[in-house]
Amino acid sequence: MSIKANLRGCDHFSRLLRSLLILLLCMLPIGEIPAEQLPWGESRQERHIKGDPFGKHFHLGRFLSEDRIDIKNNLGNLRDSFESYQPQTPLEITRDELKKRMAHCGSLFVNKKRAHAAIYVYINYLRVKYYNMIMELKKTFLELASKKEVPGDLQKVYWRQCEDELLRDLQTMENVSDRYFQSLMNNNVIFAVQFNWTLGAHETYWFSDMYEKECKWRRILSDRANNYILR
């Protein structure tokens, strides 16, 4: 083989090596938020992130234990959680903090204990977004209904129908999350790229579904308020 061919082979190998190094660097965490680690397995205790507003309604055991929460018949707990939620509180996690927690799970292979805490915070992050959507929808409807002079009792009936369905839909979405992450965490080895891609795909599903529900009920409530004057 000629020297020129050998040089071409070396150059090809160098480019491949550089590409792999760049990929590894891209996966390295840019910051860390220490995840609280509490004993798991023997105690079967609920594990909470310090200061989390939903800790009493949700626990990480759903993702790896047989002690699953049955949210199919848990509308009361979701309603309590929603009604006690205060928007824009210091406890509400930001997207940057969420990204740092995800990065803390590992740069190449995912640490499952850290992944548990990250998924816990991630689900609460999505739930907060859903709660904020409901609250904004309620505010818009009540303002329009008052403007159209819809009686207060009728406003409550209309809104309760909307809220009940949205909370039932939230149960369904969290059931999907349960199966989604259960499947992921059942793997013996989880790559960081796989973990991040899975969370990203799930987030796309969640926001897409949430947007469809918001548009549906915005249209229904708007029609009910606007058509009231025609009676």
**Among candidates 119, 107, 104, which has minimal Cα distance to 49?**
119
pLDDT of amino acid 133: 93
120 with 47: CB under 8 angstroms?
Answer: yes
Per-residue pLDDT, 161: 93
Long-range residue pairs from 77-85, CB within 8 A, at least 24 positions apart, any chain: 78/167, 78/170, 78/171, 79/167, 81/54, 81/57, 82/131, 82/134, 82/167, 84/53, 85/53, 85/54, 85/128, 85/131
- pLDDT recorded at residue 83: 64
Series of mean pLDDT values for 10-residue runs along the chain (231 residues): 45 51 41 31 29 35 35 54 55 66 77 80 85 93 92 93 92 84 82 83 88 94 85 54
CA distance 231 to 228: 6
Q: What pLDDT score was predicted for residue 70?
A: 40
**The pLDDT of residue 33:** 30
pTM above 0.75, yes or no: no
Please identify which residue in the block is written with the tokens 């210091």.
90
Instruction: Give the closest residue to 103 by CA, choosing from 198, 37, 33, 190.
Output: 33
Q: Using CA atoms in the order 167, 173, 176, 178, what is the torsion angle rounded to 10 degrees?
A: -60
